[in-house]
Amino acid sequence: MKLDTPSLRYDLAELSSDLCALYRGAGYRKFRMRKFEEYSLYLENKNFLVSEHVLAFNGLDGRLLALKPDVTLSIVKNTGASETEGEKLFYAESVYRLDKKTKEYREIEQVGLEMLGGVDAVGTLEVLSLALESLSLISEGSVLAISHMGLLDAIFRSLGLGAAASSSLYACFKTAGAHELRALLSELGVDGGRADALKALLDFDAGDAERLEAVRALSTSEEIRETAEELESLLSALAELGYRDRVRLDFSVVSDSDYYNGIVFSGYIDGVPRAVLSGGRYDRLAAKLGKSISALGFAVYLNELSYFLGGDAEFDADYLLLYGENDAPSAVCRAAAALRASGSVYLAKSIPEGFRAREIKRMGEDGLC
């Protein structure tokens, strides 16, 4: 842990509940799902998943089922939303994923929301505002990094490169490796102004204005111009809503272009080393699942916060209430109930080993003393 890492103010259950209240307040309905799904859903969309490894088992009827590694796929598969009759849903669910580092499956708590159908400029702004408000609930020090898969995809296609070359370009963008990008572009025969503009998208000392300028320099088709304008309008709208200081244009935020076709974003909290929120526009995933709808959503990864959230680690309870053999049980319980108004209470006959209480109370002849 970094020597000066600040701790944050929530425990996970409290945070989950506040996030759900935030989404409910914006008119999103809670979506509850079973813990498992048909394995084939994940097999057919394995590139959408963080890890292709899925915990599978046979149902009693012989069907191959899986403990769900992802929530969005199930929601999109089951939605009845259309482009004119949209749905707004939120969830607080566990997913089961292979941890790449430990090579063990982990249960991960996710809270998130999905806007299915009718995603327009207002809808996009609403979802991004909710993402920013979600981060605010965790900490005042937070940033939302935004990119646009449709824009990058259109720019890469305009270079006339094949799938393998595009995939290498995406890999460079993901690591923000401007020096690797330089070498790759030279290898691919992309040079001159276009190569300079592409490198400027990743330069470590470029600000949002320079990056937008580079995008304009790469606007060689109507598609690129339109997506660039969409991105610029969105950044302006977020600035008008007072979020400018917390939003960054960051083209290292990259998701799979087979599924994501528009805005993609990652949320960061000061002192937490990995993104705690991730989302984007995924019309292409919806289309793969047979739904002709626009779709946008995000998830907050509570597990990324678990080591950094403040909690009640300093004390096991606010009060340790000690009682004796001769104390009337009803008097003890009455005294505990009275104390609970000002904090948590642990009842015991003697001080448990290693127990830390803010204050120790004892039962006396006339009640607490």
Applying the rule CB under 8 A, the residues between 307 and 326 that interact with another protein are none
Say if residues 201 and 215 touch (Cβ distance below 8 Å). Answer: yes
Alpha helices in the chain (DSSP H): 12-25, 39-44, 72-78, 121-138, 149-158, 163-174, 178-188, 192-202, 208-217, 222-240, 283-288, 329-340
Report residue 44 as tokens.
Answer: 């057919």
Q: How far is the CB of 262 from another protein (least distance, A)?
A: 21
Tokens of 297: 């959503």
C-alpha dist (Å) from residue 340 to 135, 147, 343: 31, 48, 5
- CB 145 to another protein: min, Å: 6
Is there binding between residue 205 and another protein (CB under 8 A)? yes
Among residue numbers 127 through 146, which ones bind another protein (CB under 8 A)? 141, 143, 145
Give Cα separations from 291 to 66, 75, 86, 147, 297 (angstroms).
22, 12, 12, 24, 16
Helix (H), strand (E) at residue 115? strand 104-116
CB within 8 A of 187, min separation 6: which ones? none
Q: Which is nearer to another protein, 28 or 251 (CB)?
A: 251
Q: Between 79 and 142, whose beta carbon lies closer to another protein?
A: 142
Map the footprint of another protein across residues 157-186, applying CB under 8 A: 175-180
Cβ 178 to another protein shortest distance, Å: 8
CB of 331 to another protein, least distance (A): 51
Site for another protein in 224-283 (CB under 8 A): 248, 250, 252, 268-275
Q: Which is nearer to another protein, 273 or 367 (CB)?
A: 273
Question: Applying CB under 8 A, which part among 2-10, 20-28, 109-117, 282-290 lies near another protein?
Answer: 2-10
Residues in the site for another protein, rule: CB under 8 A? Answer: 1-5, 141, 143, 145, 175-180, 204-205, 248, 250, 252, 268-275
